[in-house]
């Protein structure tokens, strides 16, 4: 069955949000922890096929998939009130219409605007799923963009998602208040790591991810 990323779920203007797209690819692949390495910006409104451990658009390889270990510790939860206080829309974002973090999106976006938490070296934001944003692919999406901000993207410039591995423990229900927490996980040249976690307001861990973000070459 073809995988199609609807334009609603864009990150950049003409390609899919990396977390949402990776979640769709991981669901097609199956497995407890799936690592998705993006080789091309996920195309919108285009039939994509799972071919073993690759996602293809025709003969072009969009992503490589494999089962993996996360190998990261869980960030400590952040209280809902602290996450609300930290949340800050990025008005300088190069992706203002991003499904997850775009400040210019309408009500069809997630509006997860991760900002620095006072007296802690983490970023956080609240998120409450709606009826139309319940599913594991939306947890993958929520675990995506906050990691970019934890790498210091506002002071560094544009970064794009290169790799995302995630484990989903439970999918939150519509109306369930959640908190996304992200921390920096080291840098190597143009590559910047992040760890993200999704919690309920009471601190239950719902999902955990590690990511590699890449500064595009000039």
- Inter-CA distances, 136 with 143, 192, 217, Å: 11, 25, 32
List the one residue out of 176, 136, 116, 118 whose CA is nearest residue 28. 136
Whole-angstrom Cα distance, residue 193 to residue 183?
9
pTM over 0.85: yes
Which tens digits make up the pLDDT trace of 102-126?
999 999 999 999 999 999 999 999 9
Which tens digits make up the pLDDT trace of 166-185?
999 999 999 999 999 999 99
pLDDT-derived band at 155, boundaries 50, 70, 90: low
Whole-angstrom Cα distance, residue 120 to residue 118?
6
Which tens digits make up the pLDDT trace of 84-108?
999 999 999 999 999 999 999 999 9
């Amino acid at each position: 069955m073809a995988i199609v990323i609807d334009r609603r779920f864009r990150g950049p203007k003409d390609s899919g949000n990396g977390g949402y797209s990776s979640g769709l690819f991981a669901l097609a692949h199956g497995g407890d922890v799936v690592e998705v390495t993006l080789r091309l910006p996920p195309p919108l409104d285009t039939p994509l096929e799972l071919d073993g451990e690759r996602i293809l658009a025709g003969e072009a390889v969009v992503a490589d998939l494999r089962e993996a270990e996360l190998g990261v510790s869980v960030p400590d939860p952040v209280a809902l009130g602290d996450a609300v206080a930290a949340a800050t829309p990025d008005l300088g974002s190069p992706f203002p219409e991003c499904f997850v973090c775009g400040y210019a999106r309408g009500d069809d976006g997630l509006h997860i605007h991760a900002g620095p938490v006072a007296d802690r070296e983490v970023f956080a934001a609240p998120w409450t799923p709606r009826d139309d944003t319940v599913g594991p692919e939306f947890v993958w999406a929520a675990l995506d963009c906050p990691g970019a901000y934890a790498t210091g993207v506002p002071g560094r410039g544009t970064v794009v998602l290169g790799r995302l591995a995630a484990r989903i423990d439970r999918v939150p229900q519509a109306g369930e208040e959640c908190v996304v927490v992200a921390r920096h996980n080291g840098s190597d040249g143009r590559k910047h790591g992040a760890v993200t976690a999704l919690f309920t307001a009471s601190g239950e861990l719902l999902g955990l991810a590690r990511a590699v973000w890449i500064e595009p070459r000039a």
